[in-house]
Structure 1
Amino acid sequence: MSRNDDSREDEKNTSWKNYIRAHRDRNYCIPPHKPSQHPLTTQHNLDKNLQPATMQFFIQSTLLAAMFATATLAQPTGSDSVSAAASDLITVCKDTNFNNCKNFSGEVNKCYDLPSEWNDVASSVRAWPGRWCYIYKDFACGGFRGGPIQDDNAHSDLGRTGWSDWTSSYMCFNK
């Protein structure tokens, strides 16, 4: 680098430093007007005409409406209420290729332990149409989880995935 290049580099650094000094106290993220003049609704604009008791009622009624809407949406309606009742969920087989099987029924979104004679003996599994299920190594849907198992991806040999004779519980859901 020549001496001339060094002086140009110093000028660049100096002008950059001067720019930073001149602008460091300015905050460009906050608009330069007062909150009451801000075009968007602010907390200041929202509650300036509300008394504390009115504001408290407003907050409580808003929360109550939100909770009611959530509870209303969560209620099963029509065909959902039928599918929420106990029905066939999963077929568990002691042998590969769906031999020596038993259908297990129950409600969706609920964990079920396999009975003692079916614990850790599953070699093939499939979910019933419209369902998908997870199988678990331990009771109460604990430990390692396998799946999801669906009606269109039945597992005829759990040994291929390392799950043969490992299943103790299951949980199924509607598709």
Structure 2
Amino acid sequence: MSVEIVTERGDITEAEVDAVVNAANSTLLGGGGVDGAIHRRGGPDILAECKRLRADTYPDGLPTGQAVATTAGNLPARWVIHTVGPVYATSEDRSDQLASAYHESLRVADELGARTVAFPAISAGVYGWPVPDAARIAVETVRGARTGVSRVRFVLFSDDVLAAFAAAVG
């Protein structure tokens, strides 16, 4: 079954989907950008679950390219899937880690039974990944995934990022 992929400009914290993907940092304790917005809007239940995950499962933090789910708290989604994208580097090709963040997020979505998932542009903000390349990797990974997710929404915060993702979708 193929995944329907849509791109839209918007606020991912308002996405009415089964699962919202958080471009988290490895601490899982909130931060800036999408991560901070999800924690602020979702409320304290998300942070409480993240603290439990850090204490029990990921004492050294969530590794880059991996994903884990928590409640969505006050968000309209049912779950938040936290994933850590790589920081862009010209000295090392980390494309596989970025693809893994999308792939692992879809794997977790399948475990949860999520059929609709909203993604941000992972690593394309403060982590410095060039937006057209980030979009290409994201779309290729989602298209190639064997998943029960039926619809992926790339919910993007700016016109330039939306244009890059729309071009990658074709």
Fold conserved between structures, TM > 0.5: no
TM normalised by structure 2 equals 0.23
**Larger Rg computed on CA atoms:** 1
Give 1 or 2: higher strand fraction: 1
- The structure, 1 or 2, with the larger RCO (C-alpha pairs under 8 Å, 6+ apart) is 2
